[in-house]
Amino acid sequence: MDKFVLHGGKPLHGTIPISGAKNSTLALMPAALLASGVFRLRNTPALRDVNTMSSLLKTMGVRARLADHVLTLDTSGVDRQEAPYEHVKKMRASIYVLGPLLARHGRAKVSLPGGCAWGPRPVNLHIEGMRKLGAAIELKRGYIHAKADRLKGARISFDVSSVGATGNVMMAAVLARGTSVIENAAIEPEITQLAQFLQAMGARIDGVGTNRLEIEGVDGLHPADVDTIPDRIEAGTFLVAGAITGGTVTVAGANPEHLAAVLARLEDAGCTLTVEPGRITLAAPAKLKPVDVTASIYPGFPTDMQAQWIALMSVAAGTSVVTDTIYFDRFKHVPELMRLGADVEVKENAAVVRGVPNLTGATVMSTDLRASASLILAGLIAEGETEVLRVYHIDRGYEAIERKLQALGADIQRVSHQEF
Ligand code: EPZ
């Protein structure tokens, strides 16, 4: 098992290329199950989660190969419509195979995802959506058993705006008989890319980019290629790395539009931003100002940047409040940040962060992907040595993060070690 060893205190300087978006790739890959043939997903990030999805698709008969960030998927040999617990337990996004399998093959057996590091993350909206499209669904022995000769168009209005449920139901509806309407659909950039990819495969979808999607089902789809959008959360994380270390960092290949809420808060904290097409440069202030944020659905401040923001605010000149309206108890990183000397108090779904002059190095434990990013950010400025354990969490969503940080001048090493 690997850990990161950091020595803090070096301002970061330089330019970082941003990888393709994990949360787009994890939706685009199952979409390929909707047609037979060869797909090319360009700008695919080399991540553990992408490998997990590849191995899941391979169990169904898909041939998958990633070379030079081009993922080639051949779905002409799909012969199995099952997502076993062994795969799904590693990654909740595996649930995305439910809609495409049901729509294309009329049946699917998909393991329920089980627990998550933080809070209940139910999939009731996915299941209700499939039922509304006419699927017979039974939950048995930890599995979703779904059947439908052919799905039928329906009106689905989500109580909660859900990225996953919007993507799954949209992928099911594109092959249904008749027209479906999804109301209160998610409009995250990853969902817009998924809709555009389905359109490139021959799907008929109106309202892309809005929270009301109208989908006219078709009888068949064909393969397509796609250029995966840049990862807005990776870009946001590196900009915060520049801000917290007092440096100047450029993220190349990022889409500023997808990061508008994060950029606005960074400016409020005193950072100077230069935004050009495909490039964002951040110059840190001498002292960060405390800035409250409320994590919400897109285009609001992303919950996947909440932990990184708490790390940043832990050394701001004053007190800030960081609230999460998507996940009420996504604060597992807080006790670990406090081991580094941060002063944070969590009350329900908000963290009160009292800025301290500096952090001091210690051994800390990653609990999930974004929590581990916040610990690395804190380790970049903590005096002395910081060890971040269980970095397999970070490899799920950041491609070679230590190499990218080293290129900016960070003192970070990946070390394999035995955990007792
Ligand atoms: C996606 O998860 C992302 N994952 C998450 O990123 C991200 O945190 C989340 O959207 C919110 O932006 C991927 O895209 C693979 P949701 P998802 O359905 O689809 C509730 C990361 O760090 N809900 O939009 O699972 C749910 O509990 C990951 O990269 C239901 O109640 O999120 C939550 O409170 C972590 N019932 C809210 O909706 C359902 O059936 C939003 O969840 C589904 C969701």
Nearest residue (CA) to ligand 1, atom 30: 122
Does the annotation mark 116 as catalytic? yes
Whether the CB-CB separation of 232 and 255 falls below 8 Å is answered with yes
* pLDDT of 356 higher than 90: yes
What pLDDT is recorded for position 120? 73
Question: In testing the pocket of ligand 1, which one of 163, 190, 372, 374 has its CB within 8 Å of the most ligand atoms?
Answer: 163
Pair of tokens at residue 258: 């997808």
User: What does the chain come to in residues?
Assistant: 420
What's the count of helices (H) and strands (E) in the chain, helices before strands?
Answer: 14, 24
Whether the CB-CB separation of 77 and 63 falls below 8 Å is answered with yes
Question: In testing the pocket of ligand 1, which one of 162, 303, 328 has its CB within 8 Å of the most ligand atoms?
Answer: 162
DSSP annotation string for 277-340: TTEEEEE--SSPPP--EEE-STTSB-GGGHHHHHHHHTTSSSEEEEEESS-TT--THHHHHHHT
What backbone torsions phi and psi does residue 148 show, to the nearest 5 degrees? -170, 125
Phi-psi domain of 70 (left: phi exceeds 0; alpha: psi -120 through 50; beta: other)? beta
For residue 28, give the nearest of 175, 288, 267, 226 by alpha carbon. Answer: 226
Q: How confident is the model at residue 163 (pLDDT cuts 50, 70, 90)?
A: very high
When mean pLDDT is compared across 18-32, 69-83, 109-123, the lowest value belongs to: 109-123
Cα–ligand 1 centroid distance for 162 (angstroms): 6
Q: Which residues pair with 15 in a beta bridge?
A: 250
Question: In testing the pocket of ligand 1, which one of 192, 326, 394 has its CB within 8 Å of the most ligand atoms?
Answer: 326
**Long-range contacts made by residues 91-95, C-beta under 8 angstroms, separation at least 24?**
91/26, 91/49, 91/52, 91/53, 91/396, 92/116, 92/121, 92/164, 93/23, 93/26, 93/27, 93/49, 93/53, 93/164, 94/52, 94/53, 94/56, 95/123, 95/126, 95/164, 95/168
List all residues 6 or more positions away from 251 whose beta carbon is below 8 Å from its beta carbon: 15, 16, 18, 235, 238, 239, 279, 280
Question: In testing the pocket of ligand 1, which one of 121, 159, 184 has its CB within 8 Å of the most ligand atoms?
Answer: 121
Q: Which residues pair with 17 in a beta bridge?
A: 252
Nearest residue (CA) to ligand 1, atom 8: 304
What pLDDT is recorded for position 419? 66
Ligand 1 atom at shortest distance from the alpha carbon of 188: 12
* pLDDT of 121 higher than 90: no
Q: How confident is the model at residue 4 (pLDDT cuts 50, 70, 90)?
A: very high
Pair of tokens at residue 124: 């009731």
Distance CA 295, CA 120 (A): 17
Is the CA virtual torsion 135, 140, 141, 147 positive or negative?
A: negative
Whether the CB-CB separation of 281 and 294 falls below 8 Å is answered with no
Nearest residue (CA) to ligand 1, atom 7: 304
Give this prediction's pTM: 0.98
Distance CA 250, CA 115 (A): 37
DSSP annotation string for 47-92: -HHHHHHHHHHHHTT-EEEEETTEEEEE-TT----EE-HHHHTT-G
Q: How confident is the model at residue 295 (pLDDT cuts 50, 70, 90)?
A: very high
Sheet holding 385-389, edge to edge: 363-365, 385-389, 2-7, 411-416
Cα–ligand 1 centroid distance for 183 (angstroms): 17
Q: How confident is the model at residue 126 (pLDDT cuts 50, 70, 90)?
A: very high
Higher pLDDT, 116 or 23: 23
Whether the CB-CB separation of 235 and 208 falls below 8 Å is answered with no
Over residues 33-53, the pLDDT tens digits come to: 999 999 999 999 999 999 999
Q: Is 163 in the pocket of ligand 1 (CB under 6 A)?
A: yes
What pLDDT is recorded for position 420? 60
* pLDDT of 362 higher than 70: yes
Please identify which of the residues 116, 139, 160, 415 carries the catalytic annotation: 116
Whether the CB-CB separation of 371 and 340 falls below 8 Å is answered with no
- Which amino acid, residue 404? K
Nearest residue (CA) to ligand 1, atom 26: 121
Distance CA 283, CA 243 (A): 7
Over residues 89-117, the pLDDT tens digits come to: 999 999 999 999 999 999 999 999 977 77
Look over the chain and give the mean of its residue pLDDT values, rounded to a whole number: 97
Q: Is 397 in the pocket of ligand 1 (CB under 6 A)?
A: yes
Ligand 1 atom at shortest distance from the alpha carbon of 167: 19
Q: Is 307 in the pocket of ligand 1 (CB under 6 A)?
A: no
Q: Is 52 in the pocket of ligand 1 (CB under 6 A)?
A: no
What pLDDT is recorded for position 196? 98
CA dihedral 253, 29, 46, 237 (to 10 degrees): 50
Ligand 1 atom at shortest distance from the alpha carbon of 123: 40
Whether the CB-CB separation of 316 and 284 falls below 8 Å is answered with no
Name the DSSP letter for residue 149. Answer: S
What pLDDT is recorded for position 335? 98
Nearest residue (CA) to ligand 1, atom 25: 164
Over residues 252-274, the pLDDT tens digits come to: 999 999 999 999 999 999 999 99
Cα–ligand 1 centroid distance for 235 (angstroms): 20
CA dihedral 299, 189, 50, 183 (to 10 degrees): 90
What pLDDT is recorded for position 114? 74
What pLDDT is recorded for position 116? 72
Nearest residue (CA) to ligand 1, atom 35: 304
Q: Is 126 in the pocket of ligand 1 (CB under 6 A)?
A: yes
Over residues 187-223, the pLDDT tens digits come to: 999 999 999 999 999 999 999 999 999 999 999 999 9
Cα–ligand 1 centroid distance for 73 (angstroms): 25
